[in-house]
Amino acid sequence: MRLQNLEINGFKSFSKKTTLEFQNSIISIVGPNGSGKSNVVEALRFVLGEQSIKSMRGSSGSDLIFKGSKTLPKSSRASVTIYFDNSDKVFRLFQEGGENINLNYDTISISREVYSDGLNKYILNGTEVRLKDINNLLSSVNIGSSGHHIISQGEADRILNASSKDRREMVEDALGLKIYQYKIKEAGRKLERTNNNMKEVSLLRRENAPHLNFLKKQVDKFEKAKEMQVSLLSLYKEYLKKESIYLNREKSNLFNEKSKIEGELENIKHKISSIDGVNERVESEKERELKILEEKIRGIRNIKSEIERKLGRLEGMIEMEERRSNKAPEVVIKNPEEIKAIFEEITLEIEGAIIEENIAEIKIILLRIKEILQKFSGNIISSGPRIPGSLSQPDHEENIFPENSELKNRQKEVFTEMENIKDEEKNIFEKIEHLKSEINKENEALHLKEKEKFDYRVKHQEFTSSLNLISVREENLKREEETFENEIKEGGALIGAEILSYKNFETNEEVDRNSQEELRRKIERIKIKLEDVGSNGGSEILKEFEEVSQRDNFLAKEMEDLAKSIESLRALMADLKEKIDIEFKEGVKKINVEFTNFFSLMFGGGHAELSVVIENKKRKGEEEEGEGEEITFEQGIEINVSLPHKKVKELNALSGGERSLTSIALLFAMSQVNPPPFLVLDETDAALDEANSRKYGDMLEKLSHHSQLIVVTHNRETMSRAGILYGVTVGSDGASKLLSVKLDDAVAIAK
């Protein structure tokens, strides 16, 4: 048994949660009119995705919610949950990609909730899903949307009143072909999307075509430029390699020459500085010594002059003493002016002694001062003015003028000192002459050094001129290097990074400037041609062409894939239609066998069958496109019956009871070919008499071997075939309630 439980909460007349357990193959629901029996059937319709509110006797979603009673409040929502046994994992979900996914649950629960605003929710095992997913899941166990497994009161003959096309859909649904129809519709939607995508891709290719053609022309132009770039690269490799060899060689030569000249200059500077150092050192020592000797000569000359003055004074004093010794002595009276003059003379002598540094000279000055004082004291009379001739004469002259002998002694000393000074002066003069001789010799040597220094300066100037010339050559070489670098940059702009491959170029030829100039002219000619072609940006054009080509190729591949997909979808649709057609025809044959058996059982004979008919349907084309009428062929189902003992064959000629029996036989036959998990029969036996009720009961027992049966009935015969009876009644609170009883237990209790 597939169906396990049904939970109803707030749905129509069921205000509280009510659970029905389906533990028997035939479950009968009974109760008085208006108790809510049919609400159980409508709850099943509701939870299985019924979209027609009218078929559930309502006008909007809020009509399905419990309205309340005098003692019970109204509900805010209605919910129904149904539980299926999935221990064999038969429930599957069909994905849009075409694969089927088995649900790994032992129990499948489907819930549907409706709110007062009409909002619906579908819940699969606790997860909110779409109605599409619910229909997809139910179709995997042959529970379709046509409702062939739920037959309500008054709808038993719906299949008899339906059109041939609708009747075919009902039969397909009963045969389990809806899953193929769903796949065909899904493939049709994919085919439509694929056709639209193909149109978009085709439009994109048409839009890209002019630009692609333009880029192709540009690429052809740049291909020619590329050939010139190859030639240019070949010339550049040779030219740049030789140029780099030449520049490196020149740079090395200049460096060596410059280093050699700078070394010579440093050597010459060192020699000049050594000559300057020697000359300066000798000249300073000799001149300093000569200046000292000359200073000594000047000092000696000063001393000689002073000694000569002393001698002059001594000679004058001696001469005066001699004259005085020849005259009579007289008394000299000094007046104040003379005394003052004597004191001034003494002061001058003292000041001379103060500033004099020579001790011998100071002694002479002191002796002179002593003589002045002796002369002054010898002529002064202490008691008053002296009168000539008043003084008595000494006995002897030596006693009266002792200074004379003393002055002569002093004169001798001064003469001796003069001789000493002259000897010293002579020695110094000899030293001066010797020193001057040496200085002259050194000056001659210095002159030779100066000449040598001049020669070095001349060489220094020559080397400096050579160094300046090398600087000029370095500047020229630097400009050539800049030209070389600029040439590499220009070549890189025209060729790219491959310009640097010149470093790996091998050459054994001697670098010749004339040949280099010829190569440079060839390079310039190719560069001018490349600039005319417009090679700048060529890589961008090639990149864009590659991108556009890749996009066009991608679009072409996309169109190819889309075309294959269209063919695949069309083949799939054709296969599915063929499969549906084959299985439909086989199914109709099987249904006809069962239909005839049930029909014969119900009517005690006769014959009934389904036949496939083809109807022509014309559809007018659109006028603006100038299309004519299009004729399509559609298959339908016709029901042919032949009653026993009657010649009636048209369905319209059957009575109500006969129509009911015919529809029941057909529905039962359809359920036997591809049995659904359960069948719901809502008072389909209401029009049957007692005899037909027994036949109806027999068919129920036969059907219960393949499907669970939920039968809403008032018929006692039908009730007797059920294993469980659910009684529905209306309680004092105005809500529906359930009572259940197992007939086997009831029979045992009754016995």
383 pLDDT above the threshold of 50:
no
State residue 434's pLDDT score: 82
| Percent of the chain's residues with pLDDT above 70 | 84
Residue 95 domain boundaries:
1-143+683-751
Nearest-angstrom CA–CA distance, 477 and 714: 121
CA-nearest of 610, 584, 636 to 181 is: 584
pTM, rounded to two decimals:
0.51
State residue 576's pLDDT score: 86
State residue 295's pLDDT score: 83
Q: With bands split at pLDDT 50, 70 and 90, how would you rate the model's confidence at 393?
A: very low
Q: Do both 211 and 132 map to the same domain? A: no
Q: Do both 92 and 187 map to the same domain? A: no
Domain end among 514, 536, 558: 536
Q: Do both 110 and 243 map to the same domain? A: no
State residue 69's pLDDT score: 86
209 pLDDT above the threshold of 60:
yes
Q: Do both 241 and 116 map to the same domain? A: no
State residue 384's pLDDT score: 44
State residue 622's pLDDT score: 44
Q: Do both 225 and 107 map to the same domain? A: no
- Number of CB atoms found within 10 A of residue 554's CB: 11
Does some domain include residue 219? yes
State residue 30's pLDDT score: 92
Q: Do both 192 and 278 map to the same domain? A: yes
Q: What are phi and psi of 9, to 5 degrees?
A: -145, 110
- Number of CB atoms found within 10 A of residue 239's CB: 24
State residue 749's pLDDT score: 61
364 pLDDT above the threshold of 80:
no
Instruction: Read off the tokens for 575.
Output: 């296969």
Rounded to the nearest 5 degrees, what angle is found at the Cα of 241, between the Cα atoms of 237 and 243?
120
3-state secondary structure (DSSP) of residue 653:
helix
Q: Do both 432 and 518 map to the same domain? A: yes
Averaged pLDDT for residues 274-286: 60
Domain harbouring 1, CATH code: 3.40.50.300
711 pLDDT above the threshold of 60:
yes
Q: Do both 133 and 231 map to the same domain? A: no
Averaged pLDDT for residues 4-11: 93
Instruction: Please state the domain count of the chain.
Output: 2
Helix H or strand E segment including 710: strand 708-712
State residue 630's pLDDT score: 54
Does some domain include residue 7? yes
Does some domain include residue 461? yes
Q: With bands split at pLDDT 50, 70 and 90, how would you rate the model's confidence at 617?
A: low
Q: Which residues contact 592 (CB under 8 A, 6 or more apart)?
A: 609, 610, 669
Domain end among 506, 536, 566: 536
pLDDT tens, 665-686?
A: 888 888 778 778 888 888 888 8
Contact 5, 20 (CB under 8 A): yes
Burial of 8 (0-12, 13-18, 19+ CB in 10 A): buried
Contact 53, 64 (CB under 8 A): yes
Nearest-angstrom CA–CA distance, 147 and 120: 20
Averaged pLDDT for residues 475-490: 86
Helix and strand numbers, DSSP H then E, in the chain: 15, 16
156 pLDDT above the threshold of 80:
no
Does some domain include residue 62? yes
3-state secondary structure (DSSP) of residue 76:
coil
Q: Which residues contact 661 (CB under 8 A, 6 or more apart)?
A: 599, 602, 603, 688, 692
Averaged pLDDT for residues 685-693: 80
CA separation (Å) from 544 to 64, 122, 206, 226, 494?
A: 65, 52, 17, 16, 18
Mean pLDDT of the residues in the chain: 79
State residue 146's pLDDT score: 53
Domain end among 476, 510, 536: 536
Greater confidence (69 vs 327) lies with: 69
- The single residue listed with the structure tokens 């119900």 is 602
Q: Which residues contact 251 (CB under 8 A, 6 or more apart)?
A: 477
3-state secondary structure (DSSP) of residue 642:
strand
Nearest-angstrom CA–CA distance, 504 and 500: 8
| Beta-ladder partners of 619 | 630
Q: Do both 136 and 246 map to the same domain? A: no
N- to C-terminal Cα separation, the chain: 29
Q: Do both 132 and 194 map to the same domain? A: no
Does some domain include residue 165? no
Q: With bands split at pLDDT 50, 70 and 90, how would you rate the model's confidence at 1?
A: low
Does some domain include residue 518? yes
Q: Do both 102 and 40 map to the same domain? A: yes
One-letter amino acid of 104: N
Q: Which residues contact 476 (CB under 8 A, 6 or more apart)?
A: none
Least confident of 124-133, 243-252, 345-354: 345-354
Q: Do both 125 and 220 map to the same domain? A: no
513-522 long-range Cβ contacts below 8 angstroms, 24+ apart: 513/246, 515/242, 516/239, 516/242, 516/243, 516/246, 519/235, 519/238, 519/239, 519/242, 520/239, 522/235
Contact 602, 595 (CB under 8 A): no
pLDDT tens, 323-339?
A: 766 654 554 555 667 77
Rounded to the nearest 5 degrees, what angle is found at the Cα of 449, between the Cα atoms of 443 and 453?
140
Q: What is the CA radius of gyration of the chain?
A: 75
Averaged pLDDT for residues 564-573: 88
Least confident of 131-140, 500-509, 675-684, 706-715: 500-509
CA separation (Å) from 402 to 375, 426, 476?
A: 11, 37, 104
DSSP state letter for 129: E
Q: With bands split at pLDDT 50, 70 and 90, how would you rate the model's confidence at 404?
A: low
Nearest-angstrom CA–CA distance, 680 and 687: 17
Least confident of 338-352, 508-522, 666-680: 338-352
Least confident of 58-67, 243-252, 289-298, 351-360: 351-360
Q: What are phi and psi of 417, to 5 degrees?
A: -60, -40
Does some domain include residue 349? no
Averaged pLDDT for residues 586-615: 85
367 pLDDT above the threshold of 90:
no
Does some domain include residue 341? no
Contact 150, 143 (CB under 8 A): no
